[in-house]
Chains A and B, each alone.
Chain A
Amino acid sequence: MITLTIDGKEIGVTEGTTILEAARMFGIEIPTLCYHPVLSAHGSCRLCSVEVVQRGWSRVVVSCLYPVAQGLEVKTNSERVLRLRRGIIELLLTRCPDSERIQALAQQLGVDKPRFERDEHECILCGLCVRVCHEVSEKHLLNFVDRGFEKEVAAPFYEPPEECIACGGCAYVCPTGAIRIVDGKPEFLWQRNKQRSGEKDG
């Protein structure tokens, strides 16, 4: 058993628990986007960031990955944390201005309009679909392609994967609705993008 404090509340959890799990067990809400309880944590959206103080030294960590430690002091709502979350959600709102989930989170965090020129992306690259396909369906059909801002989710050769069993897991976990079920099969973003650019060229 490890005891720590989260937002001043002293709690005890078993070793190996993450801060996020511990917080949720005790009803403390931390926003997340790339986390799902049945999947491995990815630590990429950084929205679940919290401040931890240990031996008088404070730093920001992502709660979905950080393991609890004896005597740890966690602040889930400090000004530093809120400021970071606002910064992150502003970036996501710039990328995916039409996503309802992002809009709702932005509103919660008090960000109404991003200060950058908006993009028209649908996917935030949280990787939930990739992990569902690997870890739950065990089909391993999706992965990331390319890097940086060019990064996207795709199946090999940008083809609709033949081995897809249409379990729908990817569409179910997708926070932005980038993956849809059309005619009983998932329709991926790259397919729509291909179509769109085809229409433009034609």
Chain B
Amino acid sequence: MKITSLNDLQEVREQGLALLHPQKIKISVGMATCGLATGAGKVWDALAGEIEKAGLDIALEQTGCMGFCQQEPIVSVQQPKKPRIFLKKMTPDKALELVSSLQNNAVNTEWILAKDESERFLIEDKTVPYDISEAPAVFADIPLCTDIDFYNKQLKIALHNCGYIDPGNICEYIAKGGYTALFKVLHEMTSEQVISEVKRSGLRGRGGAGFPTGVKWESCRKAPGTPRYVICNADEGDPGAYMDRSVLEGDPHSVLEGMVIGAYAIGSHQGYIYVRNEYPLAIKRIRRAIEQAREYGILGENIFGTDFNFSIKINRGGGAFVCGESTSLMASLEGKIGEPRAKYIRSVARGLWDKPSNLNNVETWANVPLIINRGADWYASIGTDRSKGTKIFSLVGKINNTGLVEVPMGVSLREIIDTIGGGVPQGKKFKAVQTGGPSGGCIPERLLDLPVDYEALTEAGSMMGSGGMIVMDEDTCMVDVAKYFLEFLEGESCGKCVPCREGVRRARQVLSRITAGEGNQGDIELLEDLALTLQDGALCALGSSAANPVISTLSYFRDEYEAHIRDKRCPAGVCPDLIEYYIDPEACTGCTLCARKCPNEAIFGEKKQPHRIDTEKCIKCGACIEVCKFGAARKRSEGRK
């Protein structure tokens, strides 16, 4: 069916609502990559098998990431006249038990993470209460989603559908108000009005640099030459980041809708989604979304019955980090080597095949329909002075609640880490948080009250980046961290320009030397000189920001560098060449476990007598510390001369 009128759209919406809220039990399994990695596929198989075997009338559906990755696999259950519940850490066994317990109304409450008694329809700004007239008494003590720390500081805008709808079904997207923004744009708005709305909203690029989106669209629209291209950057190469993947896997239509709106505003008829090949599920989901959008007359010719045409092609990238950079991405799209070019003539004027091209990040696109629906004023009311709306982060590392979080701009890093993230595990002390991806920086404890804001993070020597957030605890060596990111960048440098190809390598070599206890006086100055060469000299932002991990750790953790260089000591006890393993004779019970586990037979001693480590033979693998039940095996870094 091709949708050409509001009535058509309403009809599809009714179908979608019936699927979203069937008048029977419905189980949704969070099956984005994060869920699948923890076993959601097996949970799904168990549920599907059991439902079929017992011949039950239960709707079973796949959905996207619900955000709380630490608790995955997560399954949500809707039962008529009851609150919706979210079950954590599901297993196939629990799934089987769940199906039978649903029959006799006795879901194990220990599995329940939280409940929902109503549902948000963000686009229409309304909250529809569920009928909970038959809520079991035991549900009374279960917290609402909005009451648990992980969710209550969040504001889900770009992720509003993720984990709520079946990403494989366009009707459910439409049921949540999807494609009404596009309908309005095509039928009621001029390109200029769309651009002005996006400009007024204050939306800035979520891919890293934070360029104002409406301004970019306007320059592209005004650039001479046709055709014009619209591109979605789904390359997402930052280690540990999965914001864009989750949006594509959980709500692909939001990105498509944003792109068609952008294309209309810019005057483009051809779009591309450049997505890394390592994201097979995301690719599958967008492919399906594109097919369905075509079927419903939302892509292709005469969209929504108007004379506007627009198609989207998917291009899979080979996984080079640099191909996320705008000009490299376009070169790669053209089938050329993924190398950047100078941007003195910008891509909006001369980009893909030398034509005006507008590139935006996945999350940027996903925000667009909401801005049209709820208006620029609403959007601009969220956030800080210069940074509007929300930002999605993937919160990883030494943090209790790993997950995908979306917060309004302006929230402090402390709130994200302590409240949403639940702090650092095992009572360890927080040390630093790394934001902005591999070329971002490390922010220390004393700056944690900084707000999430493009300028504030840049001033602190880091950057917003695309949203990776890696938390580090006291057991982290900051010199080692800088070395890690430089190793990554050294491997990912395209090798075109001298400062990046040679400079990043030399900086990494200096860091390797320092962590190996072979640092010299003057190494810090050497690193600072290299940083300047990179900042001023590199061709693209990969190289010009490659020094950030070094500079930020140098400015906040300089004493650690000095300890390595001067005292040949690693204060965090990480760098293998600077530490020594030993057994505390007072604590050792002579259980012999460590001696048996040591792969290099470096531990000796009589049964029931304190053991000792032969430091010559010790390969510093840490096996003894791991197995010792008495905390007798330890490591120290006392320094050498």
Contacts and interface: CB of A to CB of B under 8 A. Distances in A.
Interface of A: 42-47, 49, 60-62, 65-67, 80, 83-84, 87-88, 91-92, 94-95, 115-117, 124-125, 143-144, 146-151
B492 interface: yes
Q: Chain A interface secondary structure, helix, strand, loop or mixed?
A: mixed
Given A62-B342, A84-B536, A92 B495 contact: no
Contact of A43 (B337, B341, B345, B530): B341
B221 to A, nearest CB: 23
Given A91-B506, A148-B505, 12 more contacts: A49-B536, A49-B537, A84-B533, A88-B499, A91-B499, A91-B502, A92-B502, A116-B506, A116-B510, A146-B495, A147-B492, A151-B494
Contact of B498 (A44, A115, A147): A44
Given A44-B539, A115-B526, A87 B499 contact: yes
Contacts of A65: 342, 344
Interface of B: 320, 322, 337, 341-342, 344-345, 490-499, 501-503, 505-506, 509-510, 522, 526, 529-530, 532-533, 536-539
Contact of A151 (B322, B490, B491, B495): B495
A84 B499 CA distance: 9
Contacts of B539: 43-44, 46
Contacts of B496: 42, 44, 125, 151
B532 A91 contact: no
A124 to B, nearest CB: 7
A144 B537 contact: no
Contacts of B536: 49, 60, 80, 84
A94 B537 contact: no
Contacts of B529: 87
Nearest to A125: B495
A92 B505 CA distance: 12
B532 A83 contact: yes
A87 B345 CA distance: 26
Contacts, number: 99
A67 B344 contact: yes
B497 A43 contact: yes
11 contacts: A44-B539, A67-B345, A83-B532, A84-B536, A87-B503, A91-B503, A91-B506, A144-B337, A147-B495, A148-B505, A151-B494
Nearest to A121: B502
Nearest to B530: A87
B495 A94 contact: no
Contact of B509 (A43, A116, A124): A116
A147 B494 contact: yes
Contacts of B491: 148
B338 to A, nearest CB: 8
B501 A125 contact: yes
A201 to B, nearest CB: 26
A60 B342 CA distance: 12
B565 to A, nearest CB: 15
A147 B532 contact: no
Contacts of B532: 83-84, 87
A144 B339 CA distance: 11
Nearest to A114: B506
A91 B498 CA distance: 8
Contacts of A116: 506, 509-510
A168 B380 CA distance: 62
B438 to A, nearest CB: 14
A174 B344 CA distance: 27
Nearest to A34: B498
Identify the 3 closest CB pairs spanning chains A and B, nearest first: A87-B533, A151-B495, A91-B502
Contact of A149 (B320, B490, B497, B522): B490
A124 B496 CA distance: 10
A83 B492 CA distance: 26
- The listed residue with most A CB atoms (<10 A of its CB), out of B345, B490, B495, B532, is B495
